[in-house]
Amino acid sequence: MSYALQTLWHERTRYASGVLAVTFSAVLIALQCGLLLGLFKITSIPIDNTTADVWIGSTAVSSVDLGKPIPNSYITRLAGLSGVKMPEQYIANFANFFKPTGGTELCFLLGSLMDDNTSGAATLLSKEQREALTMPFAIVVDESDVKRLALDKTGDGEPKINGKKVHLVGTVKGLKSLAAPWVFCSLHTARQLMGPMLPPDHVTYMLARCDSPQRAKQVAEELRAQYPDDMVAYTAEDFSYRSRMYWLTRTKAGLAIGYAALLGLIVGAVITAQTLYSATAANAKEFAILLALGIPRWRISLMVITQSFWVGIIGITLAYPVCLGLRSIAMQFNTDVDMRWEILAGTAAITVGMALIAGTLALRSVKQIEPMNLLR
């Protein structure tokens, strides 16, 4: 074991505050980022819950809810490509939901084919629900939106979308909305509900499955290259990422959460620096002996930096289980915290970097060590 680590372990109570500060910062950063990504996952639900590999939409569409109508004829652009299976049409549009109890709510219609091989129907819809949705004006919503749309109440009126009566044939769990509730229906129903708001022979997207993810990438690239002016093609993964990033940057939520994380980072750095400073000052006489013996000051500085590195590593090691525990708690309250490895790795890099900076700040205590002070 290195002298730095040995000292850290021996004086663990002294270093505990620094380690806990790193842990606090790491948990804060990971959870904030996880919450943010979890929150913005909602914006890409229509993409992530289908089995389509390629999405074709209007030019420069930046998020799935911002697609403009494209001609039905574009389906032929997909149909002619090798490795592309069963292209289909998809409608995704905002609509007005009239609650049976009165009042309106903005909703987002997602209309797709409902047969067994469809790539556009939400994967959480059961076979029975898909069959039920083939009935005209049948809809399914997430159970969390039932109350919001007053579908659990019987009022004087009936639920309507864009002025046309609809009836709820089931609910799903796990397709929560951020602003406008998702309303799942058949392509035919969506077309009827949109009426003149959607030009004839137009839809919002064309979807298709591909032989492989690799082929999906190639297809998207080929289509983008071939039709750069009147449509855009993305892989599902790419479109999903773009949709999240659009709302992340558009709402500036990332900036707000970034500030909060930065604050946590600064607090962590200050506490860690102070802890290392105090610990080094406490060993000043021992270090002074080494200086008197001619051992260079950089050796001692290196030991302090090594200690700060270990403080960072131990702090992040403690932070991971805390993050996962808090994530489990959040999940019980239907709050998604996206703890993907990139977040955990990024948090580790940032907090260990922070600990190293704190160690560098603490080096001023090494500069103050003077062998002469050992003499009475």
Partner 1 sequence: MPATKTITTPSLRGVNLVKTYGDGDARRTTLHEVTIDLFPGQLVLLMGPSGSGKSTLLAVLSGLLEPDSGQVLAEDDGRLLDVWHLTPKQREEYRRRNTGFIFQGYNLFPALTARQQLEIVLKWGSGASSGDARNRSEEMLSKLGLLKNKNKKPALMSGGEKQRVAIGRALVKNPNFVFADEPTSALDWENGEKVIELLRDAAHERKASILVVSHDHRILPFVDVYYHLEDGHLERRPLPQH
- Find tokens 């509900």 and name the residue: 193
Nearest distance from C-beta of residue 308 to partner 1, angstroms: 16
Nearest distance from C-beta of residue 277 to partner 1, angstroms: 18
Nearest distance from C-beta of residue 309 to partner 1, angstroms: 17
Q: What backbone torsions phi and psi does residue 228 show, to the nearest 5 degrees?
A: -75, -20
Nearest distance from C-beta of residue 341 to partner 1, angstroms: 35
Among 68, 153, 167, 299, binds partner 1 (CB under 8 A): 299
126: three-class secondary structure by DSSP: coil
How many residues contact partner 1, by CB under 8 A? 23
278 binds partner 1 (CB under 8 A): no
Indicate if the alpha-carbon torsion angle 177, 91, 115, 166 is positive or negative.
positive
Between 269 and 303, whose beta carbon lies closer to partner 1?
303
10 Å CB burial of residue 64 (0-12, 13-18, 19+) is buried
286 binds partner 1 (CB under 8 A): yes
334: three-class secondary structure by DSSP: coil
11 binds partner 1 (CB under 8 A): yes
Between 3 and 259, whose beta carbon lies closer to partner 1?
3
All residues at 6 or more sequence positions from 359 whose CB lies less than 8 Å from its CB, including other chains: 272, 273, 276, 304, 305, 307, 308, 309, 311
Nearest distance from C-beta of residue 304 to partner 1, angstroms: 14
The CA-based angle 72-60-228, given to 5 degrees, is 70
333: three-class secondary structure by DSSP: coil
d(CA 151, CA 100): 7
13 binds partner 1 (CB under 8 A): no
292 binds partner 1 (CB under 8 A): yes
d(CA 280, CA 289): 14
Nearest distance from C-beta of residue 11 to partner 1, angstroms: 6
Among 260, 295, 331, 345, binds partner 1 (CB under 8 A): 295
The CA-based angle 35-44-324, given to 5 degrees, is 25
372 binds partner 1 (CB under 8 A): yes
Among 285, 340, 364, 367, binds partner 1 (CB under 8 A): 285
Nearest distance from C-beta of residue 280 to partner 1, angstroms: 12
Among 80, 156, 293, 341, binds partner 1 (CB under 8 A): 293
Between 6 and 154, whose beta carbon lies closer to partner 1?
6
63: three-class secondary structure by DSSP: coil
54: three-class secondary structure by DSSP: strand
Specify whether the CB–CB gap between 19 and 279 falls below 8 A.
no
367 binds partner 1 (CB under 8 A): no
CA 18 vs CA 32, 98, 305, 308: distances in Å: 21, 56, 13, 9
Specify whether the CB–CB gap between 136 and 188 falls below 8 A.
yes
Nearest distance from C-beta of residue 317 to partner 1, angstroms: 20
275 binds partner 1 (CB under 8 A): no
288 binds partner 1 (CB under 8 A): yes
Nearest distance from C-beta of residue 21 to partner 1, angstroms: 21
Residues contributing to the site for partner 1 (CB under 8 A): 3, 6-7, 9-11, 283, 285-286, 288-290, 292-296, 299, 371-372, 374-376
